[in-house]
Structure 1
Amino acid sequence: MSMHNRVLLVILGTFLFTIAESNEIKRLDGYKFPVYSTPFCPRNESEWSKRSSFLNCNKTNGYTCLPNENFTELLEFCYNQPWILIEEGYCLYLQKKGSYVDSYNCRHFLHGCHNTSYQSIRIFEYPACISIGNGCFLAEPSCKSSPKTTTHHPKTENDKDDWFLVGILIGIIEPIVCFLSFVLYSNCKKRLPQI
């Protein structure tokens, strides 16, 4: 294998590793069970089921997506219950110390505080409880949004999947192109008179 082809393979491998790594979720330390940082919570039942399956949650340990205790990032995890009852006028968050779900009064929110209780598996229907930024819920009167705001609707899971597929396709096509280029180069070199 020529040096040129080796360099191309190293570049390709680095590129594919970078794409795969950027699509990986980050497991966080300090919790009693696996907890992962996520850029957004699912926005519908289909995405909820997909993330639940991805984390291997089950009927006993149900998938949950909530803010952390500082309201600075969203977390997804399989909790020790199938679902949690979210009472009227409260949002939930995950406490790191003790790894338990706690509640936050949302009655002072400008909008989005729910006036009925619901199961945590329906939290995507109440986005005010998962829209955070600057250490606060965005619906709070004192909260100022910024470019680092995390809400319930940034990039979709499908967008990440699309980029991953692009990386895979490039990983498949590039070696083929390199091989064909090498064959063409070899054939042309044989046909050209030596100078």
Structure 2
Amino acid sequence: MLWMTALWSVLFLWNFFVTSNEGKNLQVKEVDICPTNKSSWEKASRDLNCTNPDRYQCTPNEQRSALLQFCYDQPATSIEKGYCWILLDSHFMDTYSCTGFAEGCPNITYRSNELYKYQECLKVNTKEECYLAEPKCPNTT
């Protein structure tokens, strides 16, 4: 009988977690370009009404078919060198290995709210769905 109580507790907590996260879809806005420096990053945060400037994000989506800006519901986090920060779906962030970039891949660990420092992580060919810094990605200009 004790195992049934434990099982119900686990199922309840799992259901609560899933239900809670389903309700946290981010309000994202597609943009043509992401901010290129700290002051424009902070201005975009204010314009989007983020409650905390460190929560503003502008990143490609997982498919690299769009650049999206939003107020993230989590604090800024450390991103390991060799990775770009991307939005997986409407509420999960992840990293993308940029070690194959011709140039511009972050060579130090950085904070997610400092992504503007690594512009190659923010330049995508949305039609071909690739980073412009990838050697096989056609330039859009």
Q: TM-score, normalised by structure 2?
A: 0.76
1:61 shift after superposition: 7.0
Q: Secondary structure of 1:80's match?
A: coil
Q: Report what 1:85 is aligned to.
A: 78
1:119 alignment partner AA: R
Q: Report what 1:75 is aligned to.
A: 68
Q: In proportion to residue count, which structure has more helix? A: 1
Q: Is the 8 A contact 2:42 2:53 kept in 1?
A: no
Q: Secondary structure of 2:25's match?
A: coil
Q: Report what 1:63 is aligned to.
A: 56
Gaps of 5+ in 1: 1-30, 148-195
Q: Report what 1:34 is aligned to.
A: 27
Distance 1:59 1:92 in 2: 19
Structure of higher CA gyration radius = 1
Q: Report what 1:8 is aligned to.
A: none
1:58 shift after superposition: 2.1
Structure 1 ranges of 4+ moved more than 6 A:
none
1:38 shift after superposition: 0.7
The structure-2 alpha-carbon separation of the partners of 1:45 and 1:61, relative to structure 1 and needing over 3 Å to count, comes to closer
Count of residues in correspondence between the two structures: 116
Percent identity reads 40
Q: Secondary structure of 2:42's match?
A: helix
Distance 1:120 1:90 in 2: 11
1:59 shift after superposition: 2.7
1:106 shift after superposition: 0.6
Q: Report what 1:6 is aligned to.
A: none
Q: Which has the higher contact order (CA 8 A, sep 6+)?
A: 2
2:140 alignment partner AA: S
Distance 1:146 1:95 in 2: 23
What's the CA shift string for 1:110-164, capped at 9, x where partnerless? 10111101112211111110010020011111111124xxxxxxxxxxxxxxxxx
1:85 shift after superposition: 1.7
Distance 1:144 1:87 in 2: 27
Q: Does structure 1 residue 120 correspond to structure 2 residue 112?
A: yes
Quick one: which of 120, 137, 140 aligns to 2:134? 140
Distance 1:139 1:113 in 2: 8
Q: Does structure 1 residue 47 correspond to structure 2 residue 37?
A: no
Distance 2:26 2:99 in 1: 31
